Chains A and B, each alone.
Chain A
């Protein structure tokens, strides 16, 4: 009889464990706002928290960075902003994933020159460790007409 009890316990485990609270749209928006704010302030501990370990960060020049590469660029000052204004235009929620799209208006000062970088962004957040984490950001420069 015991094996069957053990087997029943194993099968019922996913049902018996209470589901962790999941993020909603408001918390996804807040997480993205916090992520942009951390990027503006160059706040490495906050970025460490908001960026997923498997981050793919693809900029307007089509080059992609890992989380380590992204954090290093913030640390060494090559990625630095004077201002960073995101406007989220669409949020689509899935079970443990949120896809956010919109525009971001940035003034970059990281390479020693002041540069306006206005772009469409596509962000994927995943719900891990009881919080949203950004696992992908991909951007395309805006046309003058689409600003």
Chain B
């Protein structure tokens, strides 16, 4: 009976511990989704305060046209209006968290304003986030233009 009680106690502790880990991971995934949504919205709003929070100081942002921006360059381009994201919709296709590093893979439709006109870009993207200062911060972005749908 005592042996059974011992194993029961160990099982209970192990189960509680693993449950805590899973709950923590779920919370981290959710906070990452929230951060990603806030970042896309801040791009459209050209909001330097939010972007300052969600972008890592070491950010490497490679646009789908091959232009590379640092964090400072990226925020300045939005605030100055040089780069104008009129609207963005996105879909996360996968999130993986490995310690303090996360990979998000997704697609986005970005409406870009240029000389009073707008055009849509269909992108596949990967971004890398790091957990720093008790929050997620995006440290790298790569995107590529998706091929146009085949004619039917």
Contacts and interface: CB of A to CB of B under 8 A. Distances in A.
User: Interface size class for chain B?
Assistant: 35 or more
Given A7-B10, A120-B66, A143-B65, A95 B124 contact: no
A3 interface: yes
A136 B63 CA distance: 18
Contacts of B94: 56
Taking residues whose C-beta sits less than 8 angstroms from the other chain, chain A's interface range is 35 or more
Contacts of A141: 66, 144
Given A58-B105, A62-B124, A95-B99, A3 B5 contact: yes
B68 A96 contact: no
B101 A58 contact: no
A58 B60 CA distance: 17
B2 A140 contact: no
Grouping DSSP codes into helix (H, G, I), strand (E, B) and loop, the A interface class, with mixed when no group exceeds half, is: strand
Nearest to A118: B66
Contacts of A3: 2, 5-6, 9-10
A92 B99 CA distance: 14
Contacts of B35: none
A142 B101 CA distance: 26
Nearest to B6: A3
A138 B126 contact: yes
Nearest to B3: A2
Interface in B15-71: 58, 60, 62-68
Contacts of B125: 138
B124 A101 contact: no
Contacts of B147: 61-63
Interface in B92-114: 94, 96, 98-101, 103, 105, 107
20 contacts: A2-B6, A3-B2, A10-B13, A54-B96, A56-B103, A56-B126, A58-B124, A58-B142, A61-B145, A61-B147, A90-B60, A96-B99, A99-B128, A101-B60, A120-B142, A124-B101, A126-B98, A136-B126, A140-B63, A143-B67
Interface of B: 2-3, 5-6, 9-10, 13-14, 58, 60, 62-68, 94, 96, 98-101, 103, 105, 107, 123-126, 128, 130, 139-140, 142-147
